[in-house]
Amino acid sequence: MSKKYDVIVIGSGPGGYVAAIRCAQLGMKTAIIERYPTLGGTCLNVGCIPSKALLDSTEHYHAAKEKFAAHGIGLKDLTVDLERMVQRKNEVVSQTVKGVEFLMNKNKIDVHHGYGSFLGPKQIQVAREDGSTKVLETDKVIIATGSKPIVPAAFNYDKKRVITSTEALNITRVPKRMVIVGGGVIGLELGSVFARLGTEIEVVEYMDRILPTMDPDCSKELMRSLKKLGFTFHLKHAVQTVKATSRSVTVTVQPRDKEETFEIKADYCLVAIGRRPFTEGLGLDKAGVQTDEKGRIVVNDQLETNVPGIYAIGDVIRGPMLAHKAEEDGIFAAETMAGQKPHLDYNLIPGVVYTWPEVASVGKTEPQLKEAGIPYKVGKFPFRASGRARASMDTDGMVKVLAHKETDEILGVHMVGPRAADMIAEAVALMEFRASAEDAGRICHAHPTFTEAFKEAALAATDNRAIHI
Ligand code: FAD
Ligand code: NAD
């Protein structure tokens, strides 16, 4: 039996479920289709939320082990129960996905569990797990099917010893050694989880620095901190093959500038070399929707595909693969469908790495400004000069403000430090309003807070006017 909707959203990640809510708020009769039993997509089930839950747990343990004594706190018999940590993580996920279910009900959005695929531009089939199917009719569609990890065939991905983030989130015994392929966001966040528990972490990164898309100062500062945590880095190295037995893995690695290879043996090999858009089984050809050479759905500035009325958002299209970007895309698509003129600037989507210290960044990096030939000035402030950071023993890292040399407009802000993930919001807000570095430097910041480091870096960029360095 067929049911007619104004809009059907395929995929219930942060892009899809947020788009569905905004569509419903705007008066559209809305349905969402999700292939898995729980809503929330990668982010809530196997991404942002579970990884942050484990990062928080292990941060507590590490602080207790390494920092409490300096604060004058003695602890006897400190132990780790990784099974309990994973269980708590699962509870956090379960509460969070239930929250999305509640929001679907509250907004009167029909939820259809099953595999969604196009029969035509306005007809979507839902194939349920029990083998039954139904067909839904709609005026418009939002594709929000997200992404999956990239794993080359030579890595012999077996989900047991050769794993991706999805499996790493469910390891319940602390490994002795783990090889991580890729010094990007996932590798460094999940590497931190296990390094804090005592696992020896070896990162093999193809490029000459970790976090190669972020500002080089962030790569340098974070690498220094992670080495202190016990990470070993093989930069400019490529993994050739990964071979697993039931108990271990052997990873063959080659330096990019040498012939001879070497082997690393470990309990696990975590592959974290990026993600690819997921459109398998979606029947894009039946709707006539085009993809590009990377498999991303092609959209115009309105996030509409080549087929009128079919939109696409989040990880399945261009732009950073981030939950908050997917959400903004979702709101943008819903409001555009409703005839509004929303605003979305990918340059001002912040990027955060939830290591400790945290890394946060918005706008242009120094190499990007150089390449574009934009004249700029730099202001930096180290956390070791912050009273707040000394009080909490979090003196690693710095804030860096890049401003236009002539107009003083803030063009980029890059931070490595305590609570950088939260602090970057101020920089984003100021940049949305096209503030100058002097504007940021003249705003009163509470003392003592970590945020003073941003004010000081802005003052340093203005005219070398930082007060505390
Ligand atoms: P997804 O969240 O991938 O959701 C897509 C949904 O569509 C899935 O539920 C899928 O089952 C469903 N689907 C696909 N095809 C079909 C179909 N044919 N029919 C029905 N359903 C379908 N981002 C951040 O911003 N911050 C973080 O801290 C962060 N941490 C992360 C940690 C990890 C370990 C990982 C893997 C990712 C992390 N990300 C983080 C990235 C973030 O999860 C993604 O950018 C985000 O989930 C993308 O949202 P989306 O809605 O586009 O797609
Ligand atoms: P990534 O793009 O962040 O990092 C991949 C890294 O692997 C890069 O440094 C790259 O140079 C390296 N690499 C690529 N191929 C390689 C190879 N063959 N050998 C060695 N190194 C290689 O990708 P990711 O860490 O897998 O994360 C995937 C996506 O998930 C990212 O787009 C990220 O934005 C998102 N994510 C975000 C967060 C967050 O916002 N905190 C957390 C986790 C994941």
pLDDT tens profile 356-414? 999 999 999 999 999 999 999 999 999 999 999 999 999 999 999 999 999 999 999 99
Q: Is the CB of 191 under 6 A from ligand 1?
A: no
Instruction: Check if 324 is active-site.
Output: no
Q: What is the pLDDT of residue 124?
A: 98
Among protein residues, the one whose CA lies closest to atom 28 of ligand 2 = 274
What is the model's pLDDT at position 2?
Answer: 67
Contact 462, 438 (CB under 8 A): yes
- For 204-248, the pLDDT digits (tens) are 999 999 999 999 999 999 999 999 999 999 999 999 999 999 999
Q: Are 11 and 148 in contact (CB under 8 A)?
A: no
The pTM of the full predicted model, rounded to 2 decimals, is 0.98
pLDDT value at residue 315 = 98
Token code pair at residue 286: 């039946």
pLDDT at 421 over 90: yes
| In 386-449, alpha helices (H) | 387-391, 420-432, 437-442
DSSP states along 283-295: -HHHHT--B-TTS
| Per-residue model confidence as pLDDT tens digits over 48-68 | 999 999 999 999 999 999 999
Question: Of residues 62, 112, 234, 447, which has the active-site annotation?
Answer: 447
Yes or no: say if 401 and 460 are a contact pair by the CB < 8 Å rule: yes
Give the Å distance between the CA of 318 and the centre of ligand 1.
Answer: 14
Q: CB-hemisphere CA count at 13 Å for 414?
A: 24
Tens digit of pLDDT for each residue in 145-162? 999 999 999 999 999 999
- Smallest CA-to-CA distance from 321 within 289, 282, 276 is with 276
In the numeric block, the tokens 């930082």 are attached to: 466
- Between 452-463 and 420-432, two packed helices, what is the crossing angle to 10 degrees? 50
Residues within 6 Å of ligand 2 by CB:
181-187, 189, 204-207, 212, 238-239, 272-275, 320-322, 352-354
Is 36 a pocket residue for ligand 1 (Cβ < 6 Å)?
Answer: yes
Is the omega angle on the peptide bond into residue 277 within 30 degrees of 0, that is, cis? no
What integer pLDDT is reported at residue 283 of this predicted model?
A: 98
Q: Where are the beta strands (DSSP E) in 58-199?
A: 110-113, 115-120, 123-127, 133-143, 147-149, 162-163, 177-181
The pLDDT of residue 3 is: 74
Domains annotated for the chain, with CATH where assigned, are 3-149+276-346 (3.50.50.60), 153-273 (3.50.50.60), 357-461 (3.30.390.30)
Ligand 2 centroid, distance to 203 Cα (angstroms) = 12
Q: Indicate if ligand 1 lies below 6 Å from the C-beta of 278.
A: yes
Residue 261 has pLDDT above 90, yes or no: yes
